Chain A
Amino acid sequence: MSVPLTKFPGGLKLTGHKNRSTQVPIRKTPLSKQLVLPLQQHIGAAAVPIVEVGDKVLKGQRIAHAEGHVSVCLHAPSSGVITAIGEHAIPHPSGLSAPCITIETDGEEQWIERQQIADFRQHTAHELRQIIRDAGIVGLGGAGFPSFIKLNPGVHHTVETLLINGAECEPYITCDDMLMRERAEGILDGVEIMLFALRASRCILAIEDNKSEAITAMRFALSHRPHLSQTEIVVVPTRYPTGGEKQLIQVVTGKQIPSNKLPIDIGIVCHNPGTAYAVGRAILHGEPLISRIVTVTGTDVTHAGNFETLLGTPIKDLLDFCETKRQPDEPFIQGGPMMGYSLAGDDLPITKTANCILVGVDDVAPPAQPLPCIRCGDCAEACPVSLLPQQLYWYSRAKDFDQTRNYNLFDCIECGCCDYVCPSKIPLVSYFRFSKTEIMNQQREQQKADLARERHESRLARLEREKQEKEERQRQRKAALAASKAAKAKKDSPEKPEPTDSDAKEKV
């Protein structure tokens, strides 16, 4: 069984700079004094705290409960005492703060009792998903979508392919690479569970060809599991953004996800190797998601590498541990240099979506004064989605949002290829983000206005109805009054009857 590969249009050949952080094995970050855990580390609704300040918690104990459907639980990464529940700065491009639970660690690392499942096949897929949800597992590739939802194809879909995305195409990041090298068995544990839950008929584990050691390790691990015959390792060419879900699906299946549809609509479910590993740990070892592998690298990092880091560990501790040449307030990047975002303060915790902390990059983009667009079309050639970034740019500048939508603005995956190749150094992606936000704001405003108008109209209708009812009541009262008067008059003078039509005629 071999998979014919397809090429997606555009894309970039970028220098990987990956060796910097793959020289040493994954190390454990020392336990920090304080762990700060944002209640929302995933897409969807924030978890709701179920502990109070002063509570003593054990390692792996649930401290916040999933509320609503798109949500997952949160756990104490280490044993200690809850010292605060409230606003704390979180790693987000806005620099805003959000509700967090702070734990003062006691250094004892005392675990809760772990429910290990020896044979997951004795359980239903629903039960497994529930465990995965309760274990707080979200997509560890960066987006943070609750994993149990993606493991639930529902009755309307059949999943043909489970795609494990080991492409990791962004320069510098190596956390998936190192995980595949060192913990291939654990990843395959998760893959088996995922295959079982999805009832998928095959699994493709796609790895970019610049990760030869990971490929070897995964192949070796797979060769010892003959029952995983439906699983195949597919080596894909190194080309940014192959790790984009849509691009990887195009590379390994030749199919495109139709606009506004999801991978599941074409029978594919995509997960990150880190997520698969976490699923394996949760089911087989009863460990909730309390740590992740973080790459710390960059030109200014002295001891770059990958670290198994407890969630909530201050980024500052991690950077101190690696020794950096960074000045206290100098920005660093969370994520990769193409799609990550820069953060100013380091008083921020590691969250479930923190795959890489990058301090200093080669070929850094200086804050250039953009020149006018010369319509060279290099952006369109680099776009992996075949958009026309330069047209989108003109319409974004002109705030002609209808046209930006006509030119498929919402199909932009914000990979930054256009930005990278633009000879005029125009921050194209920023323009597109601006347009997207504006359109979404307009839609929200429109919804609000519609709602207000509906309210106004229903109020008018109500007033009208009340007026009519009032009039009706008045009329009825009048009629009743008239009737009672007439009855009274009739009673008073029965000898003098009311003239009738027939009487009138007779008079004539």
Chain B
Amino acid sequence: MPIFRLSPPFLAGTNRVTLHMLQVLVALVPEVIAMTYYFGPGVLINVTLAVIVALITEAVMLKLRDRPLKPFLSDGSAAVTAVLLALAVPPLSPWWMTVIGVTFAIIFAKHLYGGLGYNPFNPAMIGYVLLLISFPLEMTTWLPVQSLAEQPMGWLSSLQLIFTGQFNGLDIDAYSGATPLDAMKTQIVLDRHPEFISSQELFGMAGGRGWEWINIWFALGGIWLLYRKVISWHVPVAMILALLIISSITTLIDPTVSGSPLFHLVSGGTMLGAFFIATDPVSGSTTLKGRIVFGAGVGILTYVIRIWGGYPDGVAFAVILMNMLVPLIDYYTQPRVYGGATR
């Protein structure tokens, strides 16, 4: 076989961007299945819709920016953004919300900054935050898990609700309810004790009914990514530990201020954030020490926003806020170079 490359190294490693993204997608498959099991086919419909819209938007933007279609469309990054965003929005969100979120993420958060590799913020979280700020009602009303629903969602009803907003004369509001994080937050304000709150039907063993399993599935997917060396342990471990430590401290000081530390680990977007969002290489810190700082920051900010902020979950805001600090973190966490040279 002839050697075309004229400069060393002449050996090729197996590491590829496309492979990286594909493995992230593979790691997300069990979670999509688990979420579909708990929240009905709406999840699957959202994911499919988001991926299609993302690929179309990506293609249009590449065309407009006069970039080659094939290498960038096939790198899988647009699909990863789409799936992550689709898993973050409520399962029966109207179609136009998914479309707005995904197109905004791809156009504004990614391509207007220069496309793959150049975006300072996590595109999926930018899309999510846009929706959260613009449509707070739709974004915070999730379905209860299927087992708690009066009538479980089928394919037909899900499709109809997503695309028309109505099914059998009832709109989405009739099917949806608060998430466990939301319930915890609003009821603590009413001076109810977290232990009492978590004894309600909405809650399971440690977190929300269903949510705890979904978080465990996300963690398992993440561990597979760790095993495959797609992500490094620094960000997830730092984020989970930080969240665990800060929630333990506040619980020890005042048990009525929040749910148990375990509740925070398996609720909302904790594991999705720890393994799939905060580990985004492009918008995260790149030094090993920096990743620990970054992950810890996301963990602490997530808790702070959950408890004292205006939104039930804080992962998205925490990630974006830490994205802003990345240049600073990277600057101050440079490793000591061989021979002791420092800046």
Whether both chains belong to one complex is answered with: yes
Q: Which residues of A contact B (CB under 8 A)?
A: 8-9, 14, 93, 171, 246, 250, 256-261, 299-300, 327, 330-333, 335, 337-342, 358, 360-361, 363-369, 371-378, 380-381, 384-388, 390-391, 406-408, 411, 416, 419-425, 427, 429-430
Contacts of A373 in B (CB 8 A): 117
Residues 111-165 of B at the A interface (beta carbon under 8 Å):
114-118
Tell me whether B339 and A411 are in contact (CB under 8 A): yes
Distance of A372 Cα from B15 Cα, bound (Å): 14
Q: Which residue from B12, B19, B288, B335 sits with its C-beta under 8 Å from A364?
A: B12
Q: Which residue from A340, A360, A385, A425 sits with its C-beta under 8 Å from B337?
A: A385
Distance of A495 Cα from B247 Cα, bound (Å): 120
Q: Which of A250, A332, A364 is most buried by chain B, counting CB atoms within 10 A of its CB? A: A364
Q: Decide yes or no: A408 and B337 within 8 Å by CB, A365-B9, A371-B17, A372-B116 being known contacts.
A: yes
A-B residue pairs in contact (CB < 8 Å), sample of 6: A257-B339, A331-B6, A332-B3, A372-B118, A376-B20, A408-B343
- Chain B min CB distance to A324 (Å): 12
Tell me whether B20 and A259 are in contact (CB under 8 A): no
Tell me whether B115 and A372 are in contact (CB under 8 A): yes
Contacts of B310 in A (CB 8 A): none
Interface of B is mostly: loop
Q: Which of A257, A342, A369 is most buried by chain B, counting CB atoms within 10 A of its CB? A: A342
Contacts of B330 in A (CB 8 A): 391
Question: Does B169 lie at the interface of the complex (its beta carbon under 8 Å from any beta carbon of A)?
Answer: no
Tell me whether B337 and A339 are in contact (CB under 8 A): no
Tell me whether A416 and B337 are in contact (CB under 8 A): no
Distance of A415 Cα from B339 Cα, bound (Å): 16
Q: Which residue from A342, A384, A425 sits with its C-beta under 8 Å from B338?
A: A384
Q: Decide yes or no: A388 and B10 within 8 Å by CB, A364-B3, A374-B282 being known contacts.
A: no
Q: Which residue from B2, B291, B334 sits with its C-beta under 8 Å from A330?
A: B2
- Chain A min CB distance to B119 (Å): 10
For the complex with contacts A246-B338, A374-B117, A425-B16, 17 further pairs of A-B residues with Cβ separation under 8 Å are: A8-B338, A331-B2, A331-B3, A331-B6, A342-B7, A360-B1, A365-B10, A366-B4, A377-B288, A377-B291, A387-B337, A411-B341, A420-B9, A421-B15, A423-B19, A423-B20, A424-B117
Q: Decide yes or no: A420 and B282 within 8 Å by CB, A367-B4, A380-B335 being known contacts.
A: no
Tell me whether B6 and A342 are in contact (CB under 8 A): yes
Tell me whether B287 and A429 are in contact (CB under 8 A): no
Tell me whether A256 and B11 are in contact (CB under 8 A): no
Q: Which of A339, A375, A429 is most buried by chain B, counting CB atoms within 10 A of its CB? A: A375
Distance of A339 Cα from B340 Cα, bound (Å): 25
Q: Decide yes or no: A407 and B343 within 8 Å by CB, A372-B116, A377-B287, A387-B337 being known contacts.
A: yes
- Chain A min CB distance to B255 (Å): 40
Tell me whether B288 and A381 are in contact (CB under 8 A): yes
- Chain A min CB distance to B10 (Å): 4
Chain B residue at minimal CB-CB distance from A8:
B338
Tell me whether A388 and B286 are in contact (CB under 8 A): yes
Tell me whether B339 and A259 are in contact (CB under 8 A): yes
Tell me whether A367 and B5 are in contact (CB under 8 A): yes
- Chain A min CB distance to B9 (Å): 4
Tell me whether A388 and B334 are in contact (CB under 8 A): yes
Tell me whether B3 and A361 are in contact (CB under 8 A): yes
Contacts of A388 in B (CB 8 A): 286-287, 334-335
Contacts of B10 in A (CB 8 A): 333, 337-338, 340, 342, 358, 361, 364-365
Question: Does B281 lie at the interface of the complex (its beta carbon under 8 Å from any beta carbon of A)?
Answer: yes
Contacts of A425 in B (CB 8 A): 12, 16
Q: Which of B12, B116, B118, B281 is most buried by chain A, counting CB atoms within 10 A of its CB? A: B12
Tell me whether A258 and B11 are in contact (CB under 8 A): no
Tell me whether A371 and B71 are in contact (CB under 8 A): yes
- Chain A min CB distance to B38 (Å): 32
Contacts of A371 in B (CB 8 A): 17, 71-72, 75, 116-117
Q: How many contacts A-B (CB < 8 Å)? A: 173
Contact mask for chain B residues 7-34; partner A; CB cutoff 8 A; 1 contact, 0 none? 1111111011101100000000000000
Contact mask for chain B residues 283-297; partner A; CB cutoff 8 A; 1 contact, 0 none? 010111001000000
Distance of A403 Cα from B157 Cα, bound (Å): 59
- Chain B min CB distance to A105 (Å): 32
Contacts of B336 in A (CB 8 A): 386
Distance of A188 Cα from B340 Cα, bound (Å): 34
Contacts of B114 in A (CB 8 A): 372
Q: Which residue from B9, B116, B288 sits with its C-beta under 8 Å from A374?
A: B116
Tell me whether B16 and A423 are in contact (CB under 8 A): yes
Q: Which residue from B16, B17, B291, B340 sits with its C-beta under 8 Å from A259?
A: B340
Tell me whether A375 and B117 are in contact (CB under 8 A): yes
Tell me whether B17 and A374 are in contact (CB under 8 A): yes
Q: Which residue from B12, B72, B77 sits with its C-beta under 8 Å from A363?
A: B12
Contacts of B287 in A (CB 8 A): 377, 380, 388
Tell me whether B11 and A363 are in contact (CB under 8 A): yes
- Chain A min CB distance to B6 (Å): 5
Chain A residue at minimal CB-CB distance from B338:
A385
Q: Which residue from B6, B8, B20, B68 sits with its C-beta under 8 Å from A338?
A: B8
- Chain B min CB distance to A357 (Å): 13
Distance of A29 Cα from B24 Cα, bound (Å): 53
Chain A residue at minimal CB-CB distance from B285:
A377
Chain A residue at minimal CB-CB distance from B7:
A430
Q: Which residue from A8, A300, A422 sits with its C-beta under 8 Å from B15?
A: A422
Q: Which residue from A300, A378, A419 sits with its C-beta under 8 Å from B9?
A: A419
Distance of A367 Cα from B340 Cα, bound (Å): 36
Leading 5 A-B pairs by shortest Cβ distance: A372-B117, A416-B9, A365-B12, A259-B341, A377-B286
Tell me whether B288 and A337 are in contact (CB under 8 A): no
Tell me whether A340 and B8 are in contact (CB under 8 A): yes
Distance of A338 Cα from B12 Cα, bound (Å): 10
Q: Decide yes or no: A360 and B9 within 8 Å by CB, A385-B338, A388-B334 being known contacts.
A: no
Contact mask for chain B residues 262-296; partner A; CB cutoff 8 A; 1 contact, 0 none? 00000000000000000001101011100100000
Contacts of A380 in B (CB 8 A): 286-288, 335
- Chain B min CB distance to A426 (Å): 10
Tell me whether B337 and A375 are in contact (CB under 8 A): no
Distance of A299 Cα from B232 Cα, bound (Å): 35
Tell me whether A337 and B11 are in contact (CB under 8 A): yes
Distance of A257 Cα from B337 Cα, bound (Å): 11
Contacts of A420 in B (CB 8 A): 9, 11-13
Distance of A430 Cα from B7 Cα, bound (Å): 7
Q: Decide yes or no: A375 and B339 within 8 Å by CB, A364-B1, A366-B12 being known contacts.
A: no
Q: Decide yes or no: A342 and B5 within 8 Å by CB, A258-B339, A374-B17, A380-B335 being known contacts.
A: yes
Tell me whether B17 and A424 are in contact (CB under 8 A): yes
Chain B residue at minimal CB-CB distance from A300:
B1
Distance of A369 Cα from B143 Cα, bound (Å): 46
Contacts of B3 in A (CB 8 A): 330-333, 342, 360-361, 364
Q: Which residue from B15, B115, B339 sits with its C-beta under 8 Å from A423?
A: B15
Tell me whether B117 and A411 are in contact (CB under 8 A): no
Chain A residue at minimal CB-CB distance from B283:
A375
Chain B residue at minimal CB-CB distance from A298:
B3
- Chain B min CB distance to A185 (Å): 35
Contacts of A365 in B (CB 8 A): 5, 9-12
- Chain B min CB distance to A301 (Å): 13
Q: Decide yes or no: A366 and B5 within 8 Å by CB, A246-B339, A371-B71, A377-B281 being known contacts.
A: yes
- Chain A min CB distance to B54 (Å): 17
